[in-house]
Structure 1
Amino acid sequence: MPEVWLRTNRRALLLGLALPVVIALVGSGLLIAAWLLHWHWGVWALAGAMILGALYLTGNILWMAAQPRLAYEADSLLVYIEPKEPIRVPLDIVECFFLGQGGASELPKIDGMEPETSNVIVRIAERAKDWHHRDVKPAIAHWCEGYITLQGAWCEPINGEALKELNHRLAAAHREQRARQAAGA
C-alpha cells in the first residue's frame, strides 16, 4: 500500500458531484412520471440512461477523489496525473519539491483574470534525461525540462509547512533507500 505524500483536492472534486445529482434527480423524476402516467417506453429508457450516466459520473468522481496526487512505494515516487495508473518515478532521481505560483490553472476566470494557484514542483535530477519530459494532461500537470509542475487547484492546499514535510519525507526515503543498498552490497 503506497504511503500518501500529497492528496488530491477533494473539495473541488466533490463539488463536481452536483451535476450527477441533478441528472439523477431529473432521471428519477422522469422515471416516476413515466410510471404514473404510462408514458412511452422511450421515456423509461431515457430516464434509465440518465440515472446510469449519473451513477457512472459519481463513481468516477469518487474514484478520483480517493486517489492521491503523490505517494511513495518501493523506491518510487508515484505521480498520479494519468487517469488509470500512476507514473512510477525512481526515487533516486527525485531531488526535491518546491512551491511555485502560477496561473494557467485551467480554472474559470474571475473578473476577467485567471486565479493564481500555489503549485507543487518536483525537481528531477539532471542526469535522468529519460525522465525530463512526459506528455500529461495540462489541466493537472506539466512535465518538461526535468520539472513536474502539479497544478495547485488539483492538489490539497499546500503551504510552506506542507512543502517542508514533503521534503522531509523525501530525505527520509532517500536515507532508507541508501541504507538498504549499503546493507545489500
Structure 2
Amino acid sequence: MTHREKRNHNWLKANLRLAGLLAVVAFFFFLSSLAVCGIAVWNSGGVSVVAFLCSAGLGILACLIGYVAFTAKQERIFVKDSEVMVRIGPASIEKLPLDAVECFFLGSQPLGRSGDPVASEEAAFRVGTLVVRVAERYGHLASGRRGPWACWEDGYLVVDGRWSEPLVVETLRRINGRLAVAKRQPVVDPCVLSGASEGCCG
C-alpha cells in the first residue's frame, strides 16, 4: 500500500500531543524504577525486597502507560476490508460495514467537572465530538459499548474530540469525502485477488 493509499484509509488521526504526554509519563516511571534500584544498590550494596517490589511496580506502570501511549497515537477512524473501524479505547474497536455508515457530523457533549457526560444543565464545560450516523436498518450494531475515546449514544457512535485531531469543518469534509469515495469502490472477491480457481471460497 502506497503512502497516499494508506492516508486515504486513515480517516481521523489521533491527538498526538496527548499521546506524546503519555509517552513522557511512561518514560518518567521507567526511569524512576531504575532509580529505585540504583539507590538501593548504592546505599546497601544490594536490592532489598521492598526496593525490588517498588521498582517492579513502577516498571509495570510504565509499561501500561506506554501501551496506552502507543495505542493513543493510532488513528481514531480508519477503513479496513470494507469496514469502518472506530477505536473506542486502547484495546477496543467498533467495526461498522461501510453501508451502515450514512455520514459524519460535528457535535458537542456536555461534561461535568470529573469529565463524565452529564445533562446539559449540569455541564461544567462542553467538548467537540464527531458523530457517526448509522443507518436505521443497522440499528442492531449499536452495542452500547463505552470507552475513553468513543461511545454509543442513542444509536449514534460519538467520538470524543479531546483524543483526536482538531474537529473542524475541513476535517468533517475530508472524512465525509473519503466515505463517499469508499462507498463507490467496487467490492472485489478475495478469490479473484488471490488468483485462485473458481469456487475457492466455497
- 2:36 is matched with 30
1:171/1:101 CA distance change after superposition, 3 Å: same
2:71 is matched with which residue: 64, 71, 79?
Answer: 64
Q: Are 1:125 and 1:146, in contact at CA under 8 Å, matched by a contact in 2?
A: no
TM-score of the aligned structures, taking structure 1 as reference length: 0.80
Equivalent residue runs for 1:95-110 within 5 Å: 95-104=102-111, 107=115
1:26/1:74 CA distance change after superposition, 3 Å: closer
Which stretches in structure 2 are left out of the alignment for 5+ residues? 117-121, 193-202
Q: Are 1:34 and 1:43, in contact at CA under 8 Å, matched by a contact in 2?
A: no
Over the aligned positions, Cα root-mean-square deviation in angstroms equals: 2.9
Q: Are 2:111 and 2:123, in contact at CA under 8 Å, matched by a contact in 1?
A: no
1:53 is matched with which residue: 60, 65, 73?
Answer: 60
TM-score of the aligned structures, taking structure 2 as reference length: 0.74
Q: Are 2:88 and 2:147, in contact at CA under 8 Å, matched by a contact in 1?
A: no
1:16/1:162 CA distance change after superposition, 3 Å: same
Matched, 1:121 2:128: no
1:45/1:121 CA distance change after superposition, 3 Å: same
Matched, 1:8 2:17: no
Residue 31 of structure 1 deviates from its aligned partner by 1.2
Matched, 1:160 2:166: no
Work out the CA distance in 2 between the residues paired with 1:139 and 1:57: 16
Work out the CA distance in 2 between the residues paired with 1:59 and 1:15: 10
Work out the CA distance in 1 between the residues paired with 2:66 and 2:28: 15
1:16/1:66 CA distance change after superposition, 3 Å: closer
Q: Please state whether the residue corresponding to 1:95 is helix, strand or coil.
A: strand
Q: Are 2:88 and 2:151, in contact at CA under 8 Å, matched by a contact in 1?
A: no
- 1:84 is matched with 91
Which stretches in structure 1 are left out of the alignment for 5+ residues? none
Residue 18 of structure 1 deviates from its aligned partner by 4.4
